[in-house]
Amino acid sequence: MGAKTWMIVQADGPVRAIRPVLEAGEEPDPATTAAFVTQCFPKADYRPSGSGPLYDTSPRQGRVVAGCWPGLRLIAHESFAIDHPSRTAPALIAPRGTTVLHLMHSVVDWFAYAVWQDGQLQRALSLNPDRGVIEDIGARLPFEQPFWDGPRTEDEDYPLSFHPLDLGEAALVALFGYQLEGELIPDLLDPAGLTLLHYQRQRPWWKLW
């Protein structure tokens, strides 16, 4: 299946406030989460359709995956997966606190992410081997630097000096405290142990035929 994400996380505080909330492993609040989904998609009708683990943040077929806890909101939808993360819809960016967008698709070796602080873009990066660096805005965060400065990948024919998915996994670790693939890092959050709520978009009855 490979590693895929298209998710946005909003924290009332700085980036470092995200991991402790996820590590607490609390169930997301259903009412607050449903309201957040409606806030992000005001013109669509999404209904609860079960739940699943944190590692499933690449929903398709009209699904939304989300979770809300005190001080933290997470939502995932395939429409978030855009080549230029800086162009994320303003309605998805919290006016206060921190917003993080994380996008990864293993089939095409693509990784992108962006960070906003109090609604202002701080960092945006998007790259894959076919198009190279698609977007590169703002100062690199510390977890990035070893990839830009380090030795080239052993695959001399690879168009980039490192694999974007490796950087994507490093971003998951640095920003959220868990990983999906790669060499196991001790003391990280197990993404199978945190529940997110699922929602399915409802089609109007006049579009059923």
What residue type is assigned to position 163 of the chain? H
Q: How far apart (Å, rounded) are the C-alpha atoms in residues 103 and 110? A: 8
Instruction: List pLDDT tens digits, range 14-47.
Output: 999 999 999 999 999 999 999 999 999 999 999 9
pLDDT at 205: 56
Q: How far apart (Å, rounded) are the C-alpha atoms in residues 115 and 104? A: 15
Name the band, by pLDDT with cuts 50, 70 and 90, for residue 110.
very high
Mean pLDDT of 145-162: 92
DSSP one-letter code for 83: S
If one counts every other C-beta atom within 10 angstroms of the C-beta of residue 132, the result is 10
Instruction: Write down the pTM of the prediction.
Output: 0.94
Tokens of 5: 């994400």
Q: How far apart (Å, rounded) are the C-alpha atoms in residues 56 and 192? A: 9
Candidates 109, 99, 43, 75; CA nearest to 196 is 75
- Sheet holding 132-138: strands in order across? 46-53, 195-201, 63-69, 72-76, 4-11, 98-105, 110-117, 120-128, 132-138
pLDDT at 1: 47
